[in-house]
Amino acid sequence: MSEIQIPKAENFHIEFKSEKVSSKNLAREIAAFANAEGGEIWLGVDDNREISGLSRSYEEDIMNICRTGVIPPIQPVYEPIKIDDKEIARIIIQKGVDRPYYTSDHYYYIRVGSTKRIASRQELIRLFQASGLFHYDLIELDYADKNELNYSDIAGYFSRYQISFSSETKEEKDRLLIASNILGKNNRPTLGGLLIFGVSPETRLPQSGVAFAHFVGNEIGSELIDKKTIGGNLQNQVNNTLAAIKANLKTASWIEGAKRIEKPFYPEKVFRELVVNACVHRNYSITGSQIRIFLFQDRIEFISPGRLPNTITVENIKVGASFSRNPFLVRLMENLGYMDQLGRGLPMVFQEAGKLKKNVDFLDSGEEFRVILEL
């Protein structure tokens, strides 16, 4: 046993439970931690942080709860601790790699602040997206109409496959669009179909689009030099965002003899990759936030709504691990020449920053993924 200090209070990662807690309640706490970022349950400690202690070891009980009361089963760490001559235990729950987890009474719990609660519909969608069991980009939008699609763009897309879309009958056009997942089975656009081929997808999907801002200094409170909200289909979002970045970035140069010498700087493919990555991999079920790109004097930040999926970490994306939250969007953008699926994009960004001896940080926190590129 080891001498360890009890945490000062319950929080997103810490929960106190007395010995009297029921197995059902423990299962709910464990599932909530596994569905979030992991955490610790301090067994034998009351809510007010007082040590009530344990009358026996509960290791076997905890293992049984994690094996039969939480689905899929998880493997916790049970660590007995002695404090002030009283026995307690720390139960360590890792962030689950098989999310979402539910309890044997068929409820999905999530961690919110220092408490747990049953996941809402939108939160469940995010959990299933993270697991790869559900793809939001394929949902059919009941409130949208196929007349909101740009059929000229669609014809150009099919022409890549030697299909003369414009000359097909109405029935055959619908069949092609449904088979390609641009329309759903009820002849309404899918989310991915509207994002790629919509005339003005932002009218139906206000969460789509990119908010770009250029600040004088290094803080958000600094004076603004430029500010834009960039809408349209994903191709337009990528192209117009890149144009905004290029127009606002300044690279150092000097005259040497009769030649103008440019200071080594990031190639355009770095910014292109980060913009495409944000547009294609963001979580479109999060409706209250757009992609944000903030240009400061010393850095540029790319902020995309949505956490990294289950099996992806900040560490392994640097070496090429990839997972498509929106595989339909990925396939379409790949076919349109904007990306590949080989996982080479973010490692390339990391390598290009290294060549310039600049830092690049990948941050996965809250409900967003952030890339910070030093300038």
The CATH number of whichever domain residue 56 belongs to comes to 3.30.950.30
Q: Is residue 194 domain-shared with residue 310, that is, in the same domain?
A: no
Q: Residue 1's pLDDT band (boundaries 50, 70, 90)?
A: very low
Read off the tokens for 129: 């997206």
Residues 165/173, Cβ–Cβ less than 8 Å: yes
Across 68-77, 128-137, 243-252, the highest mean pLDDT is recorded for 68-77
Residue range 10-48, pLDDT digits in tens: 999 999 999 999 999 999 999 999 999 899 999 999 999
This model's pTM is above 0.85: no
| Band (134; pLDDT cuts 50, 70, 90) | confident
292: how many CB neighbours lie within 10 A of its CB? 17
Q: How far is 147 from 335, CA to CA, in rounded Å?
A: 23
Does 140 share its domain with 109?
no
99 vs 186, more confident:
186
Strands of 77-83's sheet in order across:
14-17, 39-43, 86-93, 77-83
1 falls within a domain: no
Mind listing the pLDDT tens digit for each residue in 149-192?
Answer: 999 999 999 998 889 999 999 999 999 999 999 999 999 999 99
Same domain, yes or no, for 58 and 112?
yes
The domain total for the chain is 3
Using 50, 70 and 90 to split pLDDT, how confident is the model at 264?
confident
Q: Which residues pair with 91 in a beta bridge?
A: 41, 78
**CATH number (domain holding residue 355):** 3.30.565.60
Half-sphere exposure of 99 (CA within 13 A, CB side): 32
Question: 201, 224, 251 — which closes off a domain?
Answer: 201
Any domain includes 4: no
Q: What is the C-alpha to C-alpha distance for residues 68 and 144, in angstroms, rounded to an integer?
A: 43
- Cα–Cα distance measured from residue 133 to residue 130, given in angstroms and rounded to the nearest whole number: 8
What domain range is 275 assigned to?
Answer: 210-374
Same domain assignment for residues 108 and 256: no
Contact 24, 102 (CB under 8 A): no
- Give domain status of residue 26, yes or no: yes
DSSP string covering 171-214, please? HHHHHHHHHTTSB-TTS-BBHHHHHHHBSSGGGT-TT-SEEEEE
What pLDDT was estimated at residue 2? Answer: 47
